[in-house]
Structure 1
Amino acid sequence: MLCALIMAGGKGTRFWPLSTEEKPKQFLKLIGDETMIQMTVNRIKPIIPIERIFVCTGEMYVDLVKEQLPELADRNIIVEPEGRNTTPCIALSAIIIKRYYKDATMVVLPSDHLISNEDEFRKIILAAEIFIENNKKAIITLGIEPTRSETGYGYIKCSNEKYKSMEREVIKVDSFVEKPNKNLAEKYLNDGNYLWNGGMFIWTVDNILSEISKYSPKTFKALNNIHDAKEEMLQDLINREYKNTEAISIDYSVLEKSKEVYVIPSNFGWDDIGSWEALERYTKKDDLGNSVIGQAKSLKGNNNLLVSSNYNVIVEGLSDIYVIESDGKIIIGKKSNVVNVKELKNIV
């Protein structure tokens, strides 16, 4: 039975001041009329009903989740007492999902990614499910076919061991590779044997819990008793034990050590929208190449990035700048320096 876990605890600091700790980017309408988390849920709903979709988030975001996903049952909101990276998040969520769906196959998705070809995305998820049904010990990750020499993503190196599932290629993973420098990124792109690590996974709940018990035993031991806890005591137990988990990503704790990790090469218009430059790739531009989000306008200027949440912003006669207005803050700078916006947080 296919279930989904949507990880929604991130603080979105790279999009400050539009994204804040109080309302990070997964709860913002960065592209279109839906927030990023709404897009993520609606993308998966055609193949996984809402009662089998779970969201793991921080306590301070529970009200935002309920507001933006009103059809999600309270039991499907998994609350982390504190952020401790993806291994504790996934372990906790797998245990809770298993309480309700003991034979679940679990699709793990970040809450703030863009996918333009949603039909292709769903077909690949279903192909992964079939492969998992026939290979219970397998872990599948979705590897994004690179379109540029990107230095901001980790990479997956493919082996020569290949299979098929629903006409989709499934390849044994050779290794996971850290974010490269520009020269290495060019090499990976030209090599053709490397994929971007999109941070999306499919596995059975039993298998991932077994792997976590093997490779992150401290985390498994801290959370294992949750499975049998009474519903009214569940959150208290989580709050008491979560601090005893190991704060480490699932990539480091399990994926780099597990013996049965496979990747499905994927081409469905993916982007993690992790920077202002990435966001600009998907915003509509006017005839002079200005990207505008919200109530803003550029007059007699070109190649500007204008973002406004609350006020009308008008820029006249200037080019190659950014203006970001949000929550009472207005930041203006050279567009080439927009990557450094988050570094201004402590001086504003």
Structure 2
Amino acid sequence: MNTHFHAIIPAGGSGTRLWPLSRRATPKFLHDVLGLGRSLIQATWDRVAPIVGEDRVWVVTGENHFDQVAEQLPHIARGQIIAEPSPKDSAAAIGLAAMLIAREDPDAIVGSFSADHSITNVDEFRLVIDQAVAAAETGDIVTIGIMPRNPATAYGYIETGDLLGLDGAPTARRALAFAEKPEASTARQYVNSGRYRWNAGMFIAKASSLLDILAEEDPALYSGLARIAEAWDTPDHDEVLSAVWPGLEKRAIDYVVAEPAAAAGRVIVIPGDFGWDDVGDFDSVARLRQPVPGEPRGVIS
């Protein structure tokens, strides 16, 4: 176990594609969508806590979901549940968490793992993350590229290059470019080429490296988050948060950090084939959900 590795679990969004199961007040990550006896965020905790240690798991969620997250994850310190006043997308969520972690651990490596995804082969997932942590020691941004099962148009893609020959990360490749969700014909070309992987939004990096890129690519967002982080454990917390947070731009970490880093040759891809799914619609739920005793077929209680 790398004692400087911290997991960030972004737990936001309303999951409207799974309405009425997932609503703004109770988004899908709080539900046992897959019939496993654990909600999606609990299953995420179960995957990452053994890798990083329970004291190095951080959750970023909305203020309205703070108590529900704390109830579902009783082993996490309440100080490591970061409450957002309003949704500002992943750059603000992950950036703020990385700043708070770096204050406590300047040598931190951080990994972001969505609260509402599914992974069926946890052992393989952990092996892939071990490689990602080793690759992050280079100072580059590392992402997990999911081996595509089909030419999906619901996901972005990552074009991969040559093997890098890194110690501890034998499957690591250079990321050449990130591609937006494609048309069906383009998706088929991507998959047939063998060079493209699905972008699952999992990023692993030294906190310092991630924050350096954030500062360079979006100085306004960086400075706003820095003001909030500086006041986090002080009597000025509420005043600074309410003054600064509403003015932060909503941007995804992919656009602010990953894509500029890839253009500069600073992103590494670790291929992953561990049964990942974003549980984005009812087709995914039907495919993944386990039978629940007493529950009629086709009904999610």
Q: Is 1:263 aligned to 2:269, yes or no? A: yes
Distance 1:165 1:15, change over 3 A: farther
Is the partner of 1:97 in helix, strand or coil?
Answer: helix
Structure 1 segments of 4+ aligned residues over 4 angstroms from their partners: 292-296
String of CA shifts for 1:34-54, please: whole Å, max 9, x gaps. 000000011111121111100
Q: Aligned residue for 2:26?
A: 23
Query: One-letter code of the match for 2:152?
Result: E
Q: Distance in 2 between matches of 1:240 and 1:4?
A: 28
Q: Distance in 2 between matches of 1:153 and 1:196?
A: 6
Q: How does 1:1-348 map to 2 (within 5 A)?
A: 1-31=4-34, 32-133=36-137, 135-136=138-139, 138-160=140-162, 162-166=164-168, 168-229=170-231, 231-232=233-234, 233-258=236-261, 259=264, 260-284=266-290, 296-297=295-296, 306-309=298-301
Q: Distance in 2 between matches of 1:297 and 1:39?
A: 24
Q: Aligned residue for 1:317?
A: none
Q: Distance in 1 between matches of 2:165 and 2:156?
A: 23
Distance 1:55 1:167, change over 3 A: closer
- Structure 1: stretches of 5+ with no match in the other structure: 285-291, 299-305, 310-348
Q: Distance in 2 between matches of 1:272 and 1:216?
A: 28
TM-aligned CA deviation for residue 256 of structure 1? 1.1
Normalized against structure 1, the TM-score is what?
0.80
Distance 1:181 1:223, change over 3 A: same
Asked if structure 2 preserves the Cα contact closer than 8 Å seen for 1:175 and 1:256, the reply is yes
Q: Distance in 1 between matches of 2:144 and 2:215?
A: 23
- Which structure is richer in relative contact order (CA contacts within 8 A, separation 6 or more)? 2
Normalized against structure 2, the TM-score is what?
0.92
TM-aligned CA deviation for residue 163 of structure 1? 2.8
Q: Distance in 1 between matches of 2:192 and 2:106?
A: 44
Q: Distance in 2 between matches of 1:294 and 1:101?
A: 46
Q: Distance in 1 between matches of 2:169 and 2:300?
A: 45
TM-aligned CA deviation for residue 295 of structure 1? 5.5
TM-aligned CA deviation for residue 307 of structure 1? 2.2
Q: Aligned residue for 1:287?
A: none
Q: What root-mean-square deviation, in Å, do the aligned CA atoms of Structure 1 and Structure 2 show?
A: 1.7
Is the partner of 1:280 in helix, strand or coil?
Answer: helix
TM-aligned CA deviation for residue 181 of structure 1? 1.4
Q: Aligned residue for 1:328?
A: none
Indicate the larger mover: 66-75 or 93-102.
93-102
TM-aligned CA deviation for residue 102 of structure 1? 2.1
Q: Distance in 2 between matches of 1:230 and 1:116?
A: 37
Distance 1:165 1:40, change over 3 A: farther
String of CA shifts for 1:56-83, please: whole Å, max 9, x gaps. 0000100110110111111100111111
User: Percent of pairs identical after alignment?
Assistant: 35
Q: Distance in 1 between matches of 2:14 and 2:114?
A: 13
Q: Distance in 2 between matches of 1:264 and 1:226?
A: 33
Distance 1:239 1:293, change over 3 A: farther
Distance 1:164 1:74, change over 3 A: same
Query: One-letter code of the match for 2:281?
Result: S
Q: Distance in 2 between matches of 1:215 and 1:167?
A: 28
Q: Give the greater-gyration-radius structure (CA).
A: 1
- Structure that is richer in strand per residue: 1
Is the partner of 2:145 in helix, strand or coil?
Answer: strand
Is the partner of 1:209 in helix, strand or coil?
Answer: helix
